Amino acid sequence: MNSYTILGFNKQLLEKSITKGDLVIDATLGNGNDALLLAELVGADGHLFGFDKQEQAVAASKAKLAAYNERCTLFCAGHEQMQALLPAVAHGKIKAIVFNLGYLPGGDETITTLPETTLQALDAALALLAPEGFVLLTAYPGHATGSVETDAVAKFLQELDFSEYMVFTYQLLNNKNHPPQTYIIEKRKNRFSKQSE
């Protein structure tokens, strides 16, 4: 996989940032491809929590993660419920939360992530992160709902408090066909102040 494509970039970022023993969340399980990478990276001492609102996606992910059953907890539930469903002991300790927005590839394309619930989930995700933990979100502006959703996500992220979060974006700038767009939101270890940086 070319490391400069969006998916190649995402994979490299996860491989470089996640270490054995980490707690991570896949907020959109889909067919379980991202979840499989995450489960491998956290190792036997780490844990992956996964969410998808479609049973078909949870079943596909469960099958893909069969070898890593003990280090995975999968919820058939909307990611907007992640704060309520995650065990309290994991709150504030999550190293990485991955969102791959849109619809299930090969599934019903009318069942897709939606701006309102995505923003609720992002808000919950930020609260669950450990210091220096991050959200990796990929949005797809190439379809109608995805375009509205990408704009809503960008607006939400632009307004995040810079003293608490750093927001980066990665995109293919010269492709006119609305390619996917990645956002990385890192939670600062300490509140930013002029003295600390």
Which residue from 14, 42, 86, 104 is in contact with ligand SAM, where contact means CB under 6 A? 104
Smallest gap from Cβ 47 to ligand SAM, in A, equals 18
| Stretch touching ligand SAM by CB under 6 A, among 9-17, 100-108, 155-163, 181-189 | 100-108
Which residue from 51, 68, 134, 183 is in contact with ligand SAM, where contact means CB under 6 A? 51
Answer yes or no whether residue 147 interacts with ligand SAM by CB under 6 A.
no
Query: Helix H segments across the chain?
Result: 6-17, 33-42, 55-64, 82-85, 115-128, 144-158
Q: What is the DSSP string of 162-192?
A: TTTEEEEEEE-TT-SS---EEEEEEEPSS--
- Say how far apart CA 52 and CA 121 lie, in whole Å: 12
With CB atoms as reference, the residue minimizing the distance to ligand SAM is 30
Residues binding ligand SAM: number (CB under 6 A): 22
Residue 131: exposed, middle, or buried by beta-carbon count in 10 A (0-12, 13-18, 19+)? exposed
Which 16-45 residues touch ligand SAM, going by CB under 6 A? 28, 30-34
The tokens describing 8, both together, are 């190649």
Which residue from 9, 17, 18, 79 is in contact with ligand SAM, where contact means CB under 6 A? 79
Contact 53, 30 (CB under 8 A): no
Instruction: Report the residue number, 109 or 132, with the smaller CB distance to ligand SAM.
Output: 109
Instruction: Report the residue number, 12 or 190, with the smaller CB distance to ligand SAM.
Output: 12
Going by C-alpha positions, the residue among 93, 158, 101 that lies closest to residue 129 is 93
**Which chain residues interact with ligand SAM by CB under 6 A?**
28, 30-34, 51-54, 57, 78-80, 100, 102-104, 111-113, 117
